[in-house]
Amino acid sequence: MINRRTFTKAIGLGTGAAAISMTGPHSTASAAGGATASRAQGGTAAPTVPAVAPGTHTAFRTLKHVRAGVLDIGYAEAGPAHGPVVLCLHGWPYDIHSYVDVAPLLADLGYRVIVPYLRGHGSTRFLSARTPRTAEQSAIALDIIALMDALKIDKALLAGFDWGSRTADIIAALWPERVKALVSTGGYLITDIKAQREPAAPAVEHNWWYQWYFATERGKKAMENVDERIALCRYVWTLVSPDWDFDDATFQRTAQAFENPDYAAIVLYNYRWRIGLIETESRYGRYEARLAAQPPIGVPTITLDPALDPFTPAGDGSAYRDHFTGPYEHRTLANIGHNLPQEAPTAFAQAVVDADRL
């Protein structure tokens, strides 16, 4: 989930949880569904994304696999094969179904939408049993670069939340030539390992209870038990999306992704690594050294803050604004929690379309 250091900085700004449906200098939309046409900085009117109720779609029509880097990556695909590419990246504890309503909206507008399972999730598998099951932030970003290479995608629009935002941010910062535009929920999420080792505000530490749980042997045992890990993930859903009235079927569709044989190893590694309990594997050291400098992002970007997300104090994005040096918009969505694309698919899809025209 979101970088707790960014949240600590934001909480000090005194930004409130109240927000209008969506704010941004060039667009307005309803967080719950409908969107109005927006105009990008260049003056080109963006198409209006048709309103769709969350949960309208329950499955992807096309699921594929491709060997990419150290993985065989499972991914959903929608839209025309030669359309402009949008890569939608999920977070934890979620999977590709966070975009089950977003993908057809973008596909109907002519985009080729690709939604991969991240390492350790769903049908994505390591090619070799000898590959270390690590999950540094750069490792996950390199997985997506390898996916783009395998699919012969030179450049794509990247959109994500949670781990997906972090991954998209990293690619935009280190490989900007591969990114046409960026939609980053929660703002700038590149992890600052050094800062993570310092105490945060008590309210922030409280929100990160599962991170400390995963640092213990007790938490490790819970994650390694499939039933217990699924119960934990469902509980996290209720905490971070307090107004999202999801049903059992919706959760179960995603929970299948948590049965991946490497799921526990990847999740535990990622959260333990973030707080300095695990050293960076040598192959990723040079990338993490660059990320430690908190590099700026110069590609056209729209940042989204869901007002009910406990990790993202709703506001104007000022806590991370300086990290984005290119064309930029910020939007806050009222009454929406952490899983923004699944809770507000129309607003998320509109942000993608608008970012494409910044």
- Whole-number pLDDT of residue 26: 37
Average pLDDT over residues 284-305: 97
State yes or no: pLDDT of 11 exceeds 90: no
Q: How confident is the model at residue 231 (pLDDT cuts 50, 70, 90)?
A: very high
Q: What is the pTM of this model?
A: 0.90
* Six token digits for residue 97: 């179904």
State yes or no: pLDDT of 159 exceeds 60: yes
- Whole-number pLDDT of residue 195: 82
* Residue pair 330/351 in contact by the 8 Å Cβ criterion: no
194 vs 288 pLDDT, higher one: 288
Note the Cα 180 to chain centre separation in Å. Answer: 17
- Whole-number pLDDT of residue 194: 83
State yes or no: pLDDT of 12 exceeds 80: no
Half-sphere exposure of residue 343, counting CA atoms within 13 Å on the CB side?
A: 26
Average pLDDT over residues 114-132: 98
State yes or no: pLDDT of 94 exceeds 90: yes
State yes or no: pLDDT of 16 exceeds 70: no
- The rounded radius of gyration (Å) of the Cα atoms in the chain is 18
- Whole-number pLDDT of residue 197: 83
Residue pLDDT, tens place only, 297-355: 999 999 999 999 998 776 788 889 999 999 999 999 999 999 999 999 999 999 999 99
- Candidates 268, 291, 260; CA nearest to 134 is 268
- Whole-number pLDDT of residue 23: 40
DSSP 313: -
Average pLDDT over residues 91-103: 98
H or E element that contains 78: strand 71-78
Q: How confident is the model at residue 44 (pLDDT cuts 50, 70, 90)?
A: low
* Residue pair 332/16 in contact by the 8 Å Cβ criterion: no
